[in-house]
Chains A and B, each alone.
Chain A
Amino acid sequence: MRRRLGFVVAWVTGLALVLAGCSGQAKDTSGGHVPANSLVIGATAEPPTLDPTKNNAAAIPQVLLYNVYETLVRVDSSGNLHGLLAQEWQVSPDRRTYTFRLDPAATFASGRRLTATDVKWSFDRIKSPDTSSVLRTQMAVVQDVQAKDPSTLVVSLKRPSNSWLWNMSSTAGIVIDSQAAGDLAATPAGSGPYLVNEWTKGSQVVLARNPKYWATPPRVENVTFRYFSDATAMNSAMLSGDLNVISNVQAPQALDRFSDPEKYTVLQGTTNGEVVLGMNNRNKALSDPRVRQALTYAIDRKALLDSVWAGKGTLIGSMVPPTDPWYEDLSGAYPYDPAKAKQLLKEAGYESGLTLRMRLPTLAYAKGAGQFIQSQLAAVGVTVVIDELEFPARWIDVVMRQSDYDLTIVAHVEPRDMVNFADPEYYWHYDSAEFRRLMAAADAGTPQEYIDDQRVAARVLSRDAAADWLFLLPNLVVTTPNVSGINANATSLSFDVTKASVGS
């Protein structure tokens, strides 16, 4: 008996020693914690490749735009354009020719001077049919790019286009070092203040300060983007001190865990992510504006936001986030009014009821909002049948490509994507000559006309209830209190760390 006990004791001690050996001097090592003057940022999706022209994934510009790659112009946190590589630019009176004067100091990370020839090479690369760039449509309006001299770039457009200049502030406008472009999928070659130092696939991308940066050097030395497919894991990493930034909290309900202001700073801003209740305008019932308006009246969006997204986010009422210059608050256009909804459905001939198939992507906000809407529409006699499609592959295939749906919910995160409503073939199939005319006029007009026409166009969408804009996704950034210089508003696709700093 004693021998047996001895054996057990020895075994337990051995196991404990193994585990203790693993844990090492757990408490006093800072191995798992953020090193000095560094940012370790938690993010959700890892870039599938580091070439922003080959894949539309938002995770690529999140890391690379402005931090590693620079553009002629950039967008600030209030949505305005400023020069970045371009010191200034002139637009010809017919608005078809843009002349950019490049900053003569600009150099690539390799140390080589960035000239107009490099910009031309980068733009042509996206335009060329041989490169299969996912961004080609954004460059389609370009007739010709000329490098007049090392500092002067002339771009002629086929027709005037305000949106082209805007697009040049995003991934389509990045300037690539043509001499170092051998393996852009793994080795970016830009002119930004950071270099990609290391990419551990499945885990993290590490940026290091570019020692040869041509403008004001950034303050933070190393920036690590760490990727988590599981939101709980990301929160745990933040709570245990392995991160000092969460780029965007995925479940707003989790914000409670960061409520201690001594330990955490929470930034709440806006994004470009309009959560759209898409209505297939080719469905017989939904082709009637009265039915779409009825559905819009029948949904209490304030209550939906409170229940689904913890009240974080903005009610918008059209396809425009508050950081666009033509924004106006249209969220009051369809106040919650089930009686009015029933009246409109009766007028449209659906007094006896209507059944619609809602096909949701497998995303948290979509599922929550879908169930909420299902119960609210039931109250006005509309039966909603929900099924879920794996996102992105299945949802894109079934809803976007085949338009096999009546209702769906997805966030459209690209900046200035109201223009999608101008394409009757796009999955909403909203077909309005008036809207198309306004969007075309806006694109061709002066900067003021651009703003005015876009504003009217947004009103048209709201009036026609082309879709129902449930809410705008919030930008919820959590940092430790010593981190500053990170924008609350996400106006571009970049998680911009160029102005960030970390106190001691």
Chain B
Amino acid sequence: MPPRVPLSVPLRLLQRLGVFVASVVVASLLVFLVASALPGNVAQVVLGVQATPEAVARLEQEFGLDRPWPVRYGAWFAGLLRFDLGRSYLTGQPVLDQVLPRLGVTSWLVGLAMVLALLVAVPLGMWAAVRRRHADGFLASALSQVGLAVPSFWLGILASLVFAVQLGWFPANGYVPLSAGFGPWARHLVLPVVALSAVQSAVLARYVRSATVEVLHEDYYRTARAGGWRTVQALLRHGLRNMSLSVVTVVGLQLATLLAGAIIIESVFALPGLGRLLLDAVAQRDLMVVQGVVLLLVVAVLAINALVDMSYALLDPRLRIERGQVR
């Protein structure tokens, strides 16, 4: 058997891209089939409780829903190749036009929640690890346990009642775009971001804690300490980078759950994001919108995973060196 020839960097990227494209194609078929399998249809919802069977049949024909599913999938997929997600059955407008304004809201919500979660979880997890045999470290651990158990929607409602209704510090809900000014925009996002990030902080803190505990037992850490470095210095300088591999993996996975959590938080805070759009579209059986949004979320998650994979090389120099170059 000839020795396996390692792939060059461009080829590896190409391979990665190929996997990505194949995943998207398979996902589009799955998304389409699942959406089509939803019982009930948009024509009935549009016509409401006064609908006659003839009117429903006519509207189905107009929407093209009477065609067999492979034909409908083919038409939809052909559109995707031109970055055309189709037109909403309800409004007749391009799905992309409906999705793009919502994408901004959800991206800010999820992105800021992730950043806040990291800001809270990394110090909290490290603290809990370093002080794990002390009361305050134990408290930090306990806090992250409690955080895991709190549902984000409940926290959202509570935060809204306390900080908006009682104290009047923030708006109870709603959204204004960034173009309307940084202050109002940020004020509307504080409570949803905090509510969404709480659980993520707790999850992440636990990973950071265990990763830190591992680092504390490593030779290089002990050496650094013995060389006169302080705990925090040694952890930040040598520990953080080593921890980051496992933390980044978890962050990549968590982003998917954050997107799911955003759907609920957007309802609680009446934010016009993708989640609201998706829920409304499912309720109305506007399958073009459902397919478009779900596919977009799938692509986002796949892209994040691909980025996480690639970031390993940045974080860990060992992975950057190709086998052939090892000396």
Contact = CB atoms under 8 A, between A and B. Distances in A.
Contacts of B51: 56, 396, 400
Nearest to B120: A15
Given A186-B91, A202-B276, A396-B45, A8 B123 contact: yes
A261 interface: no
Contacts of B273: 202
Interface stretch (A98-106, A221-229, A364-372): A221-229
Contact of A22 (B56, B190, B267): B190
B232 A410 contact: no
Given A132-B58, A237-B173, A242-B172, A46 B280 contact: yes
Contacts of A8: 123, 127
Contact of A236 (B49, B52, B56, B160): B160
B248 interface: no
B137 interface: no
Contacts of B93: 185-186
A31 B175 CA distance: 12
A56 B44 CA distance: 10
B272 A201 contact: yes
A203 B270 CA distance: 7
Given A48-B90, A397-B39, A22 B270 contact: no
A438 B172 CA distance: 53
A405 to B, nearest CB: 14
Interface in B131-190: 157, 160-161, 164-165, 168-176, 183-184, 186-190
B58 to A, nearest CB: 7
Nearest to A136: B55
B168 A201 contact: no
Interface string A387-422: 000101110111011000000001010100100100
A393 B40 contact: yes
Contacts of A4: 230-232
A412 B41 CA distance: 20
B172 A412 contact: no
A25 B49 CA distance: 49
B325 interface: no
Contacts of A96: none
B299 interface: no
A32 interface: yes
B113 to A, nearest CB: 13
Contacts of A393: 38-41, 44-45, 283-285
A232 B267 CA distance: 10
A332 interface: no
A57 B59 CA distance: 15
A400 B171 CA distance: 41
B171 A56 contact: no
Nearest to B285: A393
B268 interface: yes
A11 B169 contact: no
A56 B90 contact: no
Interface string B30-46: 00000000111100111
B3 interface: no
A401 B186 contact: no
Contacts of B39: 393-394, 397-398
A32 B50 CA distance: 40
Contact of A27 (B50, B91, B169, B184): B169
Contacts of A15: 119-120
Interface in A161-205: 185-186, 200-203
A203 B187 contact: no
Contact of A392 (B48, B90, B102, B174): B48
Contact of B41 (A136, A397, A414): A397
Contacts of A392: 40, 44-45, 48, 283
Residue of A49, A201, A234, A417 with most partner-chain B CB within 10 A: A201
Interface in B72-121: 90-93, 98, 101-102, 119-120
Contacts of A17: none
20 contacts: A4-B230, A26-B168, A29-B183, A32-B187, A49-B91, A55-B46, A56-B48, A186-B93, A202-B273, A228-B173, A233-B268, A236-B160, A236-B173, A237-B173, A240-B171, A242-B172, A392-B44, A392-B48, A400-B49, A417-B50
Interface of A: 3-4, 7-8, 11, 15, 19, 21-27, 29, 31-32, 46, 48-49, 54-57, 132, 134, 136-137, 185-186, 200-203, 226-230, 232-234, 236-237, 239-242, 390, 392-394, 396-398, 400-401, 410, 412, 414, 417, 420
Given A24-B186, A134-B47, 11 more contacts: A19-B190, A26-B170, A27-B168, A48-B286, A132-B58, A137-B52, A185-B91, A242-B172, A396-B49, A401-B53, A414-B49
Interface of B: 38-41, 44-53, 55-56, 58-59, 62, 90-93, 98, 101-102, 119-120, 123, 127, 157, 160-161, 164-165, 168-176, 183-184, 186-190, 230-233, 267-273, 276-277, 279-280, 283-286
Q: Which 10 A/B pairs are nearest by Cβ-Cβ distance?
A: A202-B272, A393-B40, A56-B48, A22-B186, A32-B171, A236-B172, A203-B272, A397-B40, A24-B183, A240-B172
